[in-house]
Structure 1
C-alpha cells in the first residue's frame, strides 16, 4: 500500500455517526469519569450496537482522545479571541463573559475536563504542555505588554488567567451548590448575569491603573 495516499474524507453518514458517538461519550464520561465509563454504556447511549460503535472507534481511549481534543478546541476559543489590538479592559471583560457563557452552555464538558485534571491529566498532558501552554504564554505576553504601557495595573498575567478560569468555571463544576445556596429566587438562569456583573467589577477594579 502506498503510505503517501491521503486518507479518504469521511462521508456525511460517517461524520454524523461519529458526532452521535462523541455526544453519547460526553454524557457517559462526564458522569462516570474515564475509568467508570465502558464501551457498552457509550454504545447504549448512542443507540447503536457495540460492533457498530467499534467500526468508528477501536477503543475507549480513542473516543476519549477525540472528545478531549474537541473539548480543548472549544475551551480555548475564548482565550484565542483575546486581542492585543483592542482596549485591555474591554478585552478582559469580554473574556470573562465568554468564559461564563461556556460555564452556562457546556457544563458537561467542564466536568469532563475537571475530572481529567483531578486525575493528573494522564490522557491529555501532551495537549496541556503543548497547545494549552503555548496559547496561555502568548496571551500572558499580551497582558504583560498592557502592564508595561500602564494600561492595566502590574500583576502576574498567568495567575490572572488562572483566576478567571477558577471563578468562571466554578459556575459549571459547582452549579448544584450555587443554585442551592442562592435559593429559588436567585438560583435561576439570571445567576449567570449576576455572576458576570460581579466578576467584571471584581477584576476590572483590581486591574484599573492606579
Structure 2
C-alpha cells in the first residue's frame, strides 16, 4: 500500500516534470509546482529541501529508465531482437515519461549542468557498451558496416522526438493526442527502418545468439 509520503512525492515529481518541461528550470516557481500537485508549498521543501534537489530528482526519474532500456544490450542476443526491444523501450519512455524526457533533453542541450559526475559516467558507459555491441555485430557480419555511433544517435533522435515534439506530431496528424496505435506504428516504422537500413536479418529459429562486446 502506498504511503502518504510516497503519494505526495509522486504528485510533486509529476507536477515538477510538467512545470520544468514547460518553463525550464529558472522560470519554474515552487508555488506553481505545489499548485499543480494540489499540495501546500511547504511540502516541496519538506520532501525535497530545494528546487534544485527537486529538479535533480526529476532527472533521476528519467535516467534510470533510460539505462534500463539498454538492458537488451547487456546480455547475448541477436541484433534484430536487441534493437527491436531497445527501440520499443525508448518509445515507451517517450510516451510514459514525456515531460521528464523533455526536461532531460533540455538539460543535455544546456550542457548538462545539473547532472552529477556519476550520472554522466553511467550514461556514457552504457552508450559506449551499446556502441561496442553494434560494432561486434558488424565484425561478425550480422549487419551492414554502418557507423555504430551515428546509428545509436539516430535511434535516440527518432524515438525521443515522440516526447520532445509531441505537439508538432499531434498537430500534423490532426489528433489532440497520440493513441496506442500511433505509438505502435511509430515503433514498427523505426524498427523497420533500422533493421532494413542496417541489413539486419531476422533472428534464426532456435534462438541463435550473437556475441556481445
Return the TM-score normalized by structure 2: 0.83
Give the drift of 1:46.
2.2
State the 4+ residue runs in structure 1 displaced beyond 6 angstroms: none
2:154 corresponding residue in structure 1: 163
Question: How many residues were matched structurally?
Answer: 198
SS for the counterpart of 1:82 is helix
Determine if the alignment matches structure 1 residue 145 to structure 2 residue 145: no
Looking at CA atoms only, which structure, 1 or 2, has the larger radius of gyration? 1
Residue segments in structure 1 that go unaligned for 5+ positions in a row: 1-10
Which of 173-182 and 157-166 deviates more?
A: 173-182
Determine if the alignment matches structure 1 residue 28 to structure 2 residue 19: yes
1:79 corresponding residue in structure 2: 70
SS for the counterpart of 1:104 is helix
Q: Once superposed, what is the RMSD of the aligned Cα atoms?
A: 2.2
1:95 corresponding residue in structure 2: 86
Contact 1:179–1:188 at 8 Å: present in 2 too?
no
Return the TM-score normalized by structure 1: 0.84
Determine if the alignment matches structure 1 residue 181 to structure 2 residue 206: no
Contact 1:83–1:91 at 8 Å: present in 2 too?
no
Deviations 1:130-159 (A, max 9, x none): 110011111211111111111111222222
Deviations 1:101-150 (A, max 9, x none): 22222221221112222222211263563110011111211111111111
Q: What CA distance in whole angstroms lies between the structure 1 residues aligned with 2:67 and 2:183?
A: 20
Q: What CA distance in whole angstroms lies between the structure 1 residues aligned with 2:182 and 2:130?
A: 29
Q: Which has the higher contact order (CA 8 A, sep 6+)?
A: 2
Contact 1:100–1:192 at 8 Å: present in 2 too?
yes
Which of 55-64 and 111-120 deviates more?
A: 111-120
Residue segments in structure 2 that go unaligned for 5+ positions in a row: 202-213
Structure 1 residues 156 and 125, CA, compared in 2 at 3 Å: closer, same or farther?
farther
Q: What CA distance in whole angstroms lies between the structure 2 residues aligned with 1:47 and 1:168?
A: 32
Give the drift of 1:41.
1.3
Structure 1 residues 62 and 188, CA, compared in 2 at 3 Å: closer, same or farther?
closer
Q: What CA distance in whole angstroms lies between the structure 1 residues aligned with 2:133 and 2:179?
A: 36
Q: 1:64 aligns with which of 55, 74, 77?
A: 55
Contact 1:140–1:157 at 8 Å: present in 2 too?
yes
